[in-house]
Chains A and B, each alone.
Chain A
Amino acid sequence: MALLSHAAPSYCDILIIINPNNPTTELTKEAVKNIFLGRLTRFPDSDLRVSPIEIKQDNPQKHRFYKIIANKSVNKINRYWARYLFTGKMSPPKKLLSNQEIIDEIMNNPSGVSYIDSKDVTSSVKVVLTLQEE
């Protein structure tokens, strides 16, 4: 039992998920960071554009995600986007209300990419990176 829980992703893991038809099989932490800061516009190994999607609320999942990928607070990320949101130079990640909505969107959007708690993942999406708290 102890072995099993060690092998499976722990409760705290955050998974980077994409559409199952997307040819990409894995993403680096750096690529994920750049996608969510608007600094990477296409998947690294294909010409497919990226459409980042995330949860609207500033919840623990979001705090952990930005802490792990960029060592940034959600406040700093919000400040970063405030300047682009109103200038129209680039668009922040699309915001959805629940992990279920995120999974539905990823299933329907070939270019979608998002992050969710491992407990909420389903087999209908493809996991390309597992983030663990350091």
Chain B
Amino acid sequence: MLPRIIILMLAVSFSPFARSFDYSLSGFLSLSAGILDEEGYLYADIDDSLSFNNDTILGGQISGQFTDNFSATIQVIARGYSADDSDNYKPAIDWLYLTYDITPELRVRAGRMATPYYLVSEYIEIGAAYPWIRPPFEVYDPSAAPLKSFNGIDAVLRSNWKDWFIISQFIFGQEENSTFLYEINIHRIAGLNLSFSKNDFSIRLAHFVSDVSLSVFLTETFLNLFRTDNPTPVEAKLFDLVDSKHVKHFYSSIGVNWDNDTWFVYSEYNQATSEAGFTPTGEGMYLTVGYRIGKFSPYLTRADFRLLLGSDLKKHILNNSSELPFLGPLFLNPIEDNKRYQRSIALGVRYDITNAMSLKFEALNATSQRGSVGLFTSKDSSITFAPPIRVYSLALDIVF
């Protein structure tokens, strides 16, 4: 309903009846290519043959100002990457929201908006706004930031405290997302983030809670083979944990940014945890240090990542192993296989061709640890570890 209202309002505003209507158009384009040096693995969409799909994004945004306090924004994005390759370059409405300024300090929005999990989550598509080709996966991996956008409301408050400038944002909403592999239903997401800035320094704290039901179609089919009419309490609890329905997920993070026009530093630590089931519990961190020399901005990033699947499930199985002689090992193995550890170092450079156009190159050396595939995906599902892999990426970012 809300999308229709917004589109109707925009249509009325552009019509000859509208008076003194201000609108602004902006757009962005990221053309990106990537390749890695090991056969049989994927890093997002990058494999050992040069691909232009991954990270390639075209977006446009229109904001219409109805009155001094009231505006509407629509953002449409076409992405080169989708989970099953069926939606590549299919335009999608990423954002569609109404903004109302209750006071000069307090802004409320309703509609479809970016989920502000981490430091650059809200402008993750705008390559021109950050130094990297892409923000480090160790923190921005979909397991730690599953929703690009959500449907709901937010409130943004600007305030000053001593020498600090503070932006507080509260969000509340819901979202559904499905691919041919899984269906994820976020019944509810609520969160708060606070950003404190002083001179060249800013620090951001964020916490989100969501109530999630996840259906992995293959797992469900598999599970149904083992369900019985009269499960023992221990078996019932096992299925309950594996089902992953209405599980609470928590995302917490702390991020800092310092930029004195010559040197810049970005660093973040995040934790994504869940109450139960197959859903992951992970943590990540990175530190980026960069330096601007004329139009060149070289940077170095060091990052770490750790993901564990179903720690509650593991505990339940291990504590009741005698009562789960068959089902226990059956579910324990996939959990063990899905541990993911990764450590990476990336060296990159951004070259600003003009104010609105930049070229970036990055060489990433990722080492998966403890016999896992890290943040890579193995094309052969029986291979559950990866050797050290180098990923090379090139991107052209334009804003207009």
Contacts and interface: CB of A to CB of B under 8 A. Distances in A.
A88 B109 contact: yes
A90 B61 CA distance: 15
Contact of B355 (A40, A78, A89): A78
B188 interface: no
B114 interface: yes
A45 interface: no
B104 A49 contact: yes
A89 B107 contact: yes
B58 interface: no
A90 B105 CA distance: 9
A6 interface: no
B126 interface: yes
B169 A75 contact: no
B120 interface: yes
Interface in A74-115: 75-76, 78-79, 82-83, 85-90
B128 interface: yes
A75 B97 contact: no
Contact of B122 (A39, A76, A87): A87
Nearest to A75: B355
A28 B107 CA distance: 26
Interface in B167-199: 167, 169, 197
B259 A83 contact: no
Nearest to A78: B355
Contact of A89 (B61, B95, B156, B261): B156
Contacts of B95: 88
A87 B261 contact: no
Nearest to A84: B123
Contacts, number: 64
Given A76-B259, A76-B261, A86 B123 contact: yes
Interface residues of A, number: 24
A41 B158 contact: yes
A9 interface: no
A128 B75 CA distance: 39
A21 interface: no
Contacts of B28: 86
A42 interface: yes
Contacts of A25: none
Given A86-B123, A89-B167, A41 B105 contact: yes
A95 to B, nearest CB: 9
Given A82-B128, A82-B399, A86-B61, A50 B104 contact: yes
B221 interface: no
Given A73-B261, A89-B167, A40 B123 contact: no
A58 interface: yes
A82 B61 CA distance: 13
Given A39-B165, A50-B104, A79-B129, A85 B158 contact: no
Most buried by B among A40, A72, A87: A87
Interface of A: 34, 37-42, 49-50, 58, 72-73, 75-76, 78-79, 82-83, 85-90
Top 6 closest A-B pairs, CB basis? A41-B104, A49-B104, A87-B122, A82-B129, A39-B165, A86-B123
Given A89-B169, A90-B107, 12 more contacts: A37-B165, A38-B158, A39-B158, A39-B165, A79-B129, A82-B129, A83-B126, A86-B26, A86-B126, A87-B114, A88-B109, A89-B167
